[in-house]
Amino acid sequence: LNSPTPVQPSTLDSLVAQVHAACRDWGFFHVINHGVSPELYHTIKSEAANFFSLPLQEKTKVRRDLDN
């Protein structure tokens, strides 16, 4: 899934299948060469770890809807 050029429609189905398989088989996928700075990446990763280490009762206070 590492391509310096935009995905062409002819390969989009293959890309979607690869992302689906990664989510189904591993539960996640990792995007590289995305342009996000290493500092921001590590901050986001740290904040995610902090959030997921909270007790379930605290995590469920964070609500999501179709707008966020």
Please determine, for residue 57, whether its predicted confidence score (pLDDT) is greater than 90.
Answer: yes
What pLDDT was estimated at residue 4? 62
Give percent of the chain with pLDDT exceeding 70.
90
Distance (Å, rounded) from C-alpha 13 to C-alpha 1?
A: 12
Q: Is the dihedral of CA 8, 41, 26, 51 positive or negative?
A: negative
How distant is the alpha carbon of residue 52 from its chain centre?
Answer: 15
Q: pTM for the whole thing?
A: 0.52
What residue has token string 């605290």?
58
